[in-house]
Amino acid sequence: MSGQQEGRTHRGRAVVLTVLDSAAASGLLVLAYYQAPLDRPLDRSTAWLFLLALLLFAGVMAVSVRAILRSDQPRLRALRAVGLGLPLLLTVFASTYCTVAGQQPAAFTEPLSRTDGIYFTVTVFATVGFGDIAPVSELARVLVTVQMLVGLIAVGVIAKLVLGAVQVAVARRAEVPGRAEEDRVRLP
């Protein structure tokens, strides 16, 4: 096998491993979501858990941006960041909605199972809003509003940070002779 073909094979494997890694992380998050005890009372400790989960998301993204900047393969690191960050954010809100719906059955237009919680979270995040599930109580509306704002920030700021980090890392590698071609990842 020629050196060029070997390099493509190595990059192809790296892409596949990154996709599998992201899928595994997403799968573990969903498994944890379905197994987590979400029958908590709505009190200050629940509010603190929600805020801590949002801080965890922010921390994961901050660590991811640093990893992208230091990586030999910044594009693949960016894929990993998105592959972990978005599912984490979605499961945080889905868990919160299920907790609220469990304690306040009239908080939404219909009862929420865990699958309904994920479905509702994704429709809000994607700004689809089919209207089949809607927040009714003040708490549910506040949480949905927070999710909309965090979603806008996540898409805008995080995309900017992740893509900016990739550009900086790629530019740094291009300054080193012989590295620019080596760092290119061609997706099939």
Give the pLDDT of residue 187: 46
Say what percent of the chain tops pLDDT 90.
Answer: 55
Identify which has the larger pLDDT, 175 or 110.
110
- pLDDT for the residue numbered 104: 96
State the fold for domain 3-183.
Helix Hairpins (1.10.287)
This prediction's pTM: 0.82
Mean pLDDT score of the chain: 86
Highest mean pLDDT among 16-30, 59-73, 165-179: 16-30
The CA distance from 98 to 118, in Å, is: 9
Per-residue confidence band for 167, with pLDDT thresholds at 50, 70 and 90: confident
What is the per-residue pLDDT for 146? 96
CA distances from 55 to 41, 85, 121 (A): 21, 12, 18
Q: CB-hemisphere CA count at 13 Å for 142? A: 5
Residue 132 pLDDT class (50, 70, 90 cuts): very high
Burial class (CB in 10 A: 0-12, 13-18, 19+), 160: exposed
Q: How far apart are CA 85 and CA 57, in angstroms?
A: 7
Phi–psi pair at 86, nearest 5 degrees: -65, -45
187: alpha, beta or left, given left = phi > 0 and alpha = psi -120 to 50? beta
Residue 19: partners with Cβ closer than 8 Å, 6 or more residues away: 79, 83
Model pLDDT, residue 161: 76
- pLDDT value for 69: 85
* pLDDT tens figures, 49-78: 999 999 999 999 899 889 988 888 888 888
Domain residue ranges of the chain, discontinuous segments joined by +: 3-183
Task: Assess whether pLDDT exceeds 60 at residue 139.
Answer: yes
Of residues 127 and 35, the one with the higher pLDDT is 35
